[in-house]
Amino acid sequence: MTDSAQAPPPTSAPASRSAVPPAYTVRESSRARRVTLRMSVERGLEVVVPRGFRRTKVPGIVREKTAWIARMEERMAPERARLAAEPPHSLPERIDLRAVGERWLVEYRETASSRVTAREHGARGGLDRAQVAAGSANGGAGHAVGAAAGAGVTLALSGSAAAPTGATTPGGVTAPVGAVTTGLLRVSGAVGDPEACRAALRRWLARRATALLVPLLEAAAREEGLTFSSVAVRGQRTRWGSCSRRGAINLNRHLLFLSPEVVRYVLVHELCHTVKPDHSRRFWEEVVRREPGAVRLRTELRAAGRHVPGWARAPRG
């Protein structure tokens, strides 16, 4: 029950036979139970196969999905073009975490250290409290999740869910929706190495995402009266979220760059999988009942990759 936001439909339109077969890579996964196709800006088309799967069957499978591949290529074209236009080593001067109304100004400071670190300094207002939360959260790894987790999905927080009250989240993610709080993020060390700076920023993002997204999911679950068994925040390339049959939810740290409404949709979508582990009509009725804007938000989500800055993406390879 793979539930990638991009999972190809079970059947696709007949592919044109004359087309050049698309380039792809094959990856064997001990967790995979069936073949899945994944498409990401970073890696292009990837075919994930269960261990021991006969490679000779792969070209035929890819051929059957030509129409889906073409649709995904088209959908990703603007994002690819934007990333291609970005200077390869560009570093951000400002980071907007739209999901939670935070703006971070980034300062780079060369020091004698050979390492590069990103630390929060001089935060004001809501960020002071959020910093406490970040400090106490376990770093990016999140709670365990056996990757039985096939089922994924995507979601977002509505205004109210995106801003849990101090009472519900001790340590507090209290930035009011719509308001932007500004903090200073200092990157220091051997900052002449852009890739090391980007890596430090990604580590900071991973910590921040765990500190912020976990409470948002908890708040949304309380609000919706749904429960999940565990949550992990990760850097998936092709999914915004997923939910296993055991109710283990994975969230993508890049959700922080999306609007609060889209994030709420992702959260509600994944939470609904704890009661309906498929994409049946009943499942969608459940999602729409809880999030009336679901159809529009789902469409928005499809194009949401463009909000993820280049530095936040893991390097190719």
Residue 271 or 312: which CB sits closer to Zn ion?
Answer: 271
- # residues contacting Zn ion (CB under 5 A): 2
**In this structure, are residues 171 and 132 in contact, taking their beta carbons and an 8 Å threshold?**
yes
Residue 2 or 158: which CB sits closer to Zn ion?
Answer: 2
3-class DSSP state for residue 245?
coil
Residue 127 or 153: which CB sits closer to Zn ion?
Answer: 153
* Shortest CB 155 distance to Zn ion, Å: 9
Ramachandran class of 125: left when φ > 0, alpha when ψ lies in -120 to 50, beta otherwise: left
* Shortest CB 282 distance to Zn ion, Å: 13
Residue 212 or 287: which CB sits closer to Zn ion?
Answer: 287
Burial per residue of 170-181, b for 16 or more beta-carbon CB atoms within 10 angstroms, e otherwise: ebbbbbebeeeb
189 exposure class (CB count in 10 Å sphere: 0-12, 13-18, 19+) = buried
* Shortest CB 58 distance to Zn ion, Å: 25
Residue 153 or 255: which CB sits closer to Zn ion?
Answer: 153
* Shortest CB 273 distance to Zn ion, Å: 6
* Shortest CB 278 distance to Zn ion, Å: 8
Q: Token pair of 191, please?
A: 């900052």
Amino acid sitting at position 204: W
Residue 294 in contact with Zn ion, rule: CB under 5 A: no
Extended beta strands in the chain, E state? 25-29, 36-40, 44-50, 94-97, 102-110, 116-121, 181-189, 230-234, 241-243, 248-252
Binders of Zn ion among residues 152 to 211 (CB under 5 A) are 153
Residue 3 or 102: which CB sits closer to Zn ion?
Answer: 3
* Shortest CB 268 distance to Zn ion, Å: 11
Binders of Zn ion among residues 140 to 159 (CB under 5 A) are 153
Q: How many residues does the chain have?
A: 317
Residue 77 or 295: which CB sits closer to Zn ion?
Answer: 295
Q: Let me know the angle formed at the C-alpha of 83 by 82 and 87, rounded to the nearest 5 degrees.
A: 110
Residue 153 or 226: which CB sits closer to Zn ion?
Answer: 153
CA dist., res. 37 & res. 154, Å (int): 18
182 exposure class (CB count in 10 Å sphere: 0-12, 13-18, 19+) = middle
**In this structure, are residues 252 and 313 in contact, taking their beta carbons and an 8 Å threshold?**
no
* Shortest CB 28 distance to Zn ion, Å: 25
Please identify the residue of the shown chain whose CB is closest to the bound Zn ion. 153
Distances (CA, A) of 2 to 48, 168, 242, 294: 12, 32, 8, 20
Binders of Zn ion among residues 206 to 265 (CB under 5 A) are none
* Shortest CB 150 distance to Zn ion, Å: 10
Span from 1-9, 120-128, 163-171, 251-259 in contact with Zn ion (CB under 5 A): 1-9
- Which residue in the set 3, 223, 224, 261 belongs to the binding site for Zn ion (CB under 5 A)? 3
Contact set with Zn ion (CB under 5 A): 3, 153
